[in-house]
Structure 1
Amino acid sequence: MEKPCHLFSIALVISIQCYNIVCLSDQLALNRADEEALLALKAHIILDPGNILAKNWSNSISFCNWFGVSCGSRHKRVTALTLPGMSLNGTLRPQLGNLSFLTTLDLRDNNFHGNLPPELAKLRRLKSMILSKNYFSGEIPEQIGYLPRLQDLFLSGNELSGSIPLTIFNSSSLQRIVLATNNLEGSVPDDLCDHLPVIQMLEISFNNLSGKFSPNLERCRLLQILGLSNNRFTGTIPREFGNLTMLRELYLGFNNLEGIISIPHSPCIP
């Protein structure tokens, strides 16, 4: 009677070992995908003044130890890619979308150019996309607005054109939208605040945006910074702006606006 139990135990051990081997194999494949995504980025950087990536991003060491790369302690997947202010010149590759555990992408203050790859929308865990002060051109991919956890979208100081995708204004997780100093055109939807319940900062100054301000902006109850200056907005400044009790900074200058606004706590209104 002991033999069947013994055989069952052996079968169970073999099953567990096979399961572990399969899991390990899958994990290694995912880790390779992360490494390949980073190497694809490196391969399309044409200028690295400090030679940091050229020297440090090497197969001789784990990619989790590469400069600017952070990995999670459990799965050893890339969770953050932070390379700000390095004067890197190159383009972003679609493979970046394979960094499926990425929560922070910070490439600000470099010389990246070209279009933003729509594949960035595959970064379903991404919370912060910080690509300001580069030379990105073309339109903002509407797919970015579908990122379910995105809180910070910083694309200011580029050469982006076209209209702001409506999907951006419908992304309920966004807290800070900074698209200033581009070549964006079009208007701002009247029901913006209905779809951005936690928005704290909306900075879209220095573009070619037009249209009238909606009184519904008062529904953005958490709004602290509102930058709309240096555009082509027209009409009367809504009195309802005075109901934004959290507002600290309001920028309306250099538009075709008229009227006055009274805000009890006197924010900065250039």
Structure 2
Amino acid sequence: MSQLKNLTLFAVGTNLFSGSFLLPLYNLSSLKFVVLTLNNFHGDLRIDIGFVFPNLQAMVLGGNAFTAEIPASLSNISNLQVLDLARNAFTENIPFSIGNLHNLYRLHVFTNNLGSGTEDDLRFLTLSANCSFGEIPSFLGNLTQLLYLHLENNRFEGNIPISFGNFKNLQEIDLSCNNTLVL
């Protein structure tokens, strides 16, 4: 595979492949899309993965058995738009540096073993421009240490949750450009 220097898409989703992350992929810096969903890949992602794939736009690794920490170096993939790490066994917290991915519009990290920290540690939460709709989830009010909450450019409507009264230290909240919200 290392001879495929112009390869931009590598998709092998929904197979029964297993083993550690495909080492030959690390020689393909031209890749823009990596789709490995619903296989049995396992092991750690290299901590330098963000430097290996500088052109990546989508990394879809959901439904495998990857472990250890989510590498902070992912934040170096400046064109990354989709990052799906859901349904794996990642540990620790999501690196704060992921917030530097300004082109990222889809992040899936559900069903992992994340959370060596707690929601009490969360200070910044931005869920802007996600096309979310309906009522604002009241559980957000349980994130009592939030300093900044950004929910703008969605389609939320209805009452602002009473639980938002639990924010002790909130300095900034942005609910602009939603549907009809009631105070």
TM-score, structure 2 normalization: 0.71
Among residues 21, 27, 34, which one is paired with 1:98 in the alignment? Answer: 27
2:156 is the alignment partner of 1:190: no
CA 1:246–1:86: 2 relative to 1, 3 Å: farther
Partner of 2:76: 146
The residue identity in structure 1 corresponding to 2:64 is N
CA distance in 1, matches of 2:155, 2:109: 16
Q: What is the SS of the residue equivalent to 1:81?
A: strand
1:158 and 2:88 matched: yes
Q: Which has the higher helix share?
A: 1
Report the alpha carbon displacement of residue 170 of structure 1 after superposing the two structures with TM: 2.0
What secondary structure, in the 3-state scheme, does the structure 1 residue paired with 2:40 have?
Answer: coil
C-alpha separation in 1, matches of 2:39 and 2:75: 24
Are positions 1:172 and 2:102 aligned together?
Answer: yes
Please tell me the root mean square deviation across aligned C-alpha atoms, in Å.
3.6
Q: Deviations over 1:231-266 (max 9, x none)?
A: xxx98379998925458xxxxxxxxxxxxxx946xx
Question: Quick one: which amino acid aligns to residue 2 of structure 2?
Answer: E
> Which region of structure 1 is more displaced relative to structure 2, 136-145 or 170-179?
170-179
- After superposition, the Cα gap between the structure-2 partners of 1:113 and 1:244, relative to the gap in structure 1 and judged at 3 Å, is farther
1:216 maps to which of 132, 148, 153: 148
The equivalent position to 2:2 in structure 1, one of 2, 11, 36, is: 36
Unaligned runs of 5+ residues in structure 1 are 1-34, 38-62, 64-75, 203-209, 226-233, 248-261, 265-270
Q: Is 2:61 the partner of 1:134?
A: no
- How many residue pairs get aligned? The number is 160
Note if contact 1:150-1:174 (Cα within 8 Å) is conserved in structure 2: yes
CA apart distance, 1:168 = 0.8
TM-score normalised over the length of structure 1: 0.50
Q: Which has the higher contact order (CA 8 A, sep 6+)?
A: 2
Output the CA distance in 2 between the equivalents of 1:134 and 1:178.
Answer: 13
- Residue of structure 2 equivalent to 1:79: 8
Stretches of structure 2 lacking an aligned partner (at least 5 in a row)? 133-141, 157-163
Whole-angstrom distance in 2 between the partners of 1:94 and 1:109:
18
Please name the residue that 1:110 is paired with: 39
**In structure 2, do the counterparts of structure 1 residues 83 and 153 end up closer, same or farther at CA, with 3 Å as the change threshold?**
same
The whole-number CA distance in structure 2 between the counterparts of 1:133 and 1:214 is 31
Distance in 2, matches of 1:101 and 1:222, equals 33
CA contact (8 A) 2:7 2:31 kept: yes
